[in-house]
Amino acid sequence: MSFKIENIRPTVIAGPCSAENRDQVFATAQELKSNKNLKYFRAGLWKPRTRPNSFEGVGSEGMVWLAEVQKELGIPVMTEIANAEHAELALKHGIDAVWIGARTTVSPFTVQNIADSIKGTSLPVMVKNPMHADLGLWLGAIERISASTTGEVAALHRGFSNYTQHKYRNAPMWELPIGLKSELPEVSLFCDPSHICGNTEFLSFVSQKAMDLGMDGLMIETHTIPNEALSDASQQITPTELIELLSGLEIRSNLKDSITDSDLSALRIKMDSIDEQLMELLSGRMEIAKLMGEFKKVEGLTVLHLERWREIVRTRMKWSKELGLSEEFILRVLEQVHKESIKVQTDVMNQES
Ligand code: PEP
Ligand code: MN
């Protein structure tokens, strides 16, 4: 089975972050059923939580609910597999397709175990990008899985964890999916705006960007009562809101083939993405300047420390030389950044406490 619906873009995969109980799974699937863009109903069964003691998923019991949705409502179903045991359960219950999560793609050992466990089957698999911005790991996971299943293997872009991010939960870093498409033009490429955003505010913006890049589809987390979701409550939308989001998208069909590394519009998108990251980094630097201002205020220290400034110039000039940047340019940049840091610190020190 193909991941894409013929002649419809975007193909949509929707459903809750987590299957919570049979009623919630059925109610969500029922509401999504009439959406003409919907190809797969998704629900996570084993939730990779950053810290213990939060909802970790209903486990294999949920496989039965998904198989029932598929049988009773006629919607193909998908879930996340994170190890060989999950893969075997998905095959046993006749789950239509699976995805490999970002925390799994980072581990070639686990990806290979999964590949071995589905060897000789025709299970369609979507491979999410790894947590961090490493195109090689993403490509490697796709290659391992492709060598194993005869089913379609597609790529799913969910953004990259980045400690400087403010706007997004995971930085989109569009240059990576563009790089993937250039390496593997035949592989379908989907975007997961829910996990990129971490909230609902930028979902439409990110979905539109994915469409402008010529991506084939979207995976969007959908819950009947998002506020009450047991995981990722802040980023889920209702099935009705999903229809509104989709109807607001502008789909330009002639962009389909333009997502290559050297294309001018792709180069512009890469440049935009890098500038966005630069702004995030500068904003993170100014936040630290504020904290330093507070510290210096409490300790009664002066804002400007000439020794420290000389050290900054010396080290940064060395780093930038190694990166092939012009000394004159970097000195000007550093002076401006330093000037702004001093201003931020002075403002903090002058504030009434
Ligand atoms: C998910 O899709 O619910 C999920 C856990 O995603 P990711 O692997 O992208 O974090
Ligand atoms: Mn989720």
Q: What is the pLDDT of residues 170-192, one digit of tens each?
A: 999 999 999 999 999 999 999 99
pLDDT over 80 at 260, yes or no: no
| Nearest atom of ligand 1 to the alpha carbon of 232 | 3
Name the residue of 192, 196, 236 whose CB sits within 8 Å of the most ligand 1 atoms, as the mutation to test its pocket. Answer: 192
pLDDT at 327: 94
| Nearest atom of ligand 1 to the alpha carbon of 99 | 2
The number of beta carbons lying within 10 Å of the beta carbon of residue 309 is 15
Among 16-30, 112-126, 277-291, the least confident range: 277-291
Q: What's the maximum distance between 2 C-alpha atoms anywhere in the chain?
A: 73
Residue 328 CB contacts under 8 Å (≥ 6 apart), including other chains:
none
pLDDT at 264: 81
Q: Which ligand is nearest to the CA of 219?
A: 1
Entry pTM? 0.88
C-alpha span between 299 and 319 (Å, rounded):
32
| Nearest atom of ligand 1 to the alpha carbon of 42 | 2
pLDDT at 347: 94
Question: Which residues line the pocket of ligand 1, CB cutoff 6 A?
Answer: 17, 44, 48, 80, 101-103, 128, 158, 195
For ligand 2, a single-atom ion, which residues have Cβ within 5 Å?
Answer: 17, 232
How many helices (H) does the chain have, and how many strands (E)?
A: 13, 8
Q: What is the pLDDT of residues 288-333, one digit of tens each?
A: 999 999 999 999 998 888 999 999 999 999 999 999 999 999 999 9
